[in-house]
Structure formats: C-alpha cells, structure tokens
Amino acid sequence: MKKYTEARLITALADGTIVPLPEDNWQALASHFKLVEDTPTGMGGVILLVRRPLPAGRKLGWALVEDSKPGEKVVRPLANEKEARALIDERLAAYERMWDG
C-alpha cells in the first residue's frame, strides 16, 4: 500500500478515488481534515465524518474515514453532507444486522 502526500491525497479524493492509507500515513495527514463527527460502530471501529480540502483553495468537500483492516484507513470522498450521512446510516444498519446474526 502506497503512502500519500497531502497534495496527492487531495487530488485523488477530488478525482473521486477511494484511498486506502496506512494508519500512520492517515495520522500524518489528518490535521488537514476538519473532523465533523465520529461515529462508533460497535464492530468496525469508528467512522469519521470529515471536511476535506479541495484543490485550488475552493471550499471544503466531504469524506468518510473508516477502518478497513488493522493498520489501514480508507478515505472515501462524498459529494455532500447528505450523501455522507446516508452512507454512515447504511454502515450502521449493516453492523446492526451482523450483530443480530
């Protein structure tokens, strides 16, 4: 898994790419993202709802940061807050179904 610089991550997310990152790489870049909310899933770690920087200094975009496997985060760009919150709800519903068996 490759590591990203701030500029490379911003560009990849702006292009709509879902980016897997080593945990330490995310920690090094997390300060460039504004945390809006963290949602514990009970099973799959914490889902972070963040505002992400956009190229050329435009206003902030949206993204989710999730634990994909131990030592790895996935940053998923989303079009808007409504889409981001809908995906969080989907994830929570899926974890609830898994928990119920």
Q: Which helix (H) or strand (E) holds 38?
A: strand 34-40
pLDDT tens digits for range 5-17: 999 999 999 999 9
Concatenating the DSSP letter of every residue in 49-99 gives EEEE--GGGPPPEEEEEEEEETTEEEEEEESSHHHHHHHHHHHHHHHHHHH
Region 25-44: mean pLDDT is 92
Of 74 and 93, which is predicted with more confidence?
Answer: 74
- Candidates 39, 76, 44; CA nearest to 61 is 76
Give the position of tokens 């975009």. Answer: 61
Fold of 6-100: Alpha-Beta Plaits (3.30.70)
Q: Where are the domains of the chain?
A: 6-100
pLDDT of residue 30: 97
pLDDT-derived band at 57, boundaries 50, 70, 90: confident
- Candidates 46, 35, 37, 36; CA nearest to 92 is 46
Least confident among 40-44, 64-68, 84-88: 40-44
Mean pLDDT score of the chain, rounded to an integer? 92
pLDDT-derived band at 101, boundaries 50, 70, 90: low
Of 48 and 44, which is predicted with more confidence?
Answer: 48
Region 87-95: mean pLDDT is 89
